[in-house]
Amino acid sequence: MTKGSLPFKLLGLTGGIASGKSTVARQLRARGLTVIDADRVSREIVEVGSPGLGEIVASFGARILNDDGTLNRPRLGAIVFADEAQRLRLNAITHPRIADRVAEHVQAAREAGSPLAVYESPLLVEGGLHVGLDLLIVVSCAPEVQLTRVMARDGLDAAAAQARIDAQLPLAAKIAVADVVIDNSTTSQEAERAVEALLDGLAARLWPEHPEAGQAALDALRQETE
């Protein structure tokens, strides 16, 4: 069985805000896996002149734009994270567009002959999207580490940082439905070792009827990046 004839698999990568999803995603990309980044997709659907940005401006006003017409994400974030109704209003605009664009990226991976793709998103479990995935990876970290990271990353005080954490489903709820949990509380090296352990057994988990072909496909992906 060749790489192109293996049943295509779609994996999910999620976790809490600042838990370290991006670190794990980079490590997966470095090993040749196709990773579809929901944050990057969310930027694509609000580019200047896009219908998505037009609808956001119509709903929240021109105050959420920079002088050059691009979306001021921190300003919009301050609005929606302080008001649940406003956040749901924004989600109703962006989520369908994100889903459509992600589907395009998945189809592109299929057509390129990749045996799998990884969808990285903080809201996989909140949206129930994890149910249709072949494997769910949850990146976790200790609560105090998460709070410190959000404060440092976004320049927020403790209350504002906690509000952003609380706007998401508790990390414990995501861990409860995970197939694989990677603890990223300490160093990137520890996370990297966990990624290696995941990849060592990934072919057997995804293609139990064709583990050798699956492993050969994963090895080929890694070789393409070397």
> To 10 degrees, what angle do helices 21-30 and 188-200 make?
50
Burial of 131 from C-beta contacts in 10 A (0-12 / 13-18 / 19+): exposed
As a whole number, the mean pLDDT across the chain is: 92
pLDDT at 164: 87
Q: What is the tens place of the pLDDT at every residue in 116-131?
A: 999 999 889 988 989 9
Which of 2-11, 53-62, 138-147, 214-223 has the lowest average pLDDT?
2-11
d(CA 166, CA 201): 34
Q: What is the domain extent for residue 175?
A: 3-225
Q: How confident is the model at residue 226 (pLDDT cuts 50, 70, 90)?
A: confident
d(CA 184, CA 108): 30
Contacts of residue 149, defined as CB under 8 A and 6 or more positions apart, other chains included, come to 18, 141
pLDDT at 15: 94
Do 160 and 153 touch, CB atoms closer than 8 A?
no
pLDDT at 189 over 90: no
Q: What is the tens place of the pLDDT at every residue in 51-109?
A: 999 999 999 999 999 999 999 999 999 999 889 999 999 999 998 999 899 999 999 99
pLDDT at 126: 87
pLDDT at 3 over 80: no
pLDDT at 1: 54
CATH number at residue 142: 3.40.50.300
pLDDT at 191 over 70: yes
Domain count, the chain: 1
Distance of CA 79 to the CA centre of its chain: 22
pLDDT at 115 over 70: yes
pLDDT at 224: 86
Q: What percent of the chain has pLDDT over 90?
A: 79
* Cβ neighbours, 10 Å, residue 56: 21
Q: How confident is the model at residue 167 (pLDDT cuts 50, 70, 90)?
A: confident
Q: What is the mean pLDDT of residues 207-214?
A: 94
pLDDT at 179 over 60: yes
Q: What is the tens place of the pLDDT at every residue in 129-164?
A: 899 899 999 999 999 999 999 999 999 999 999 998
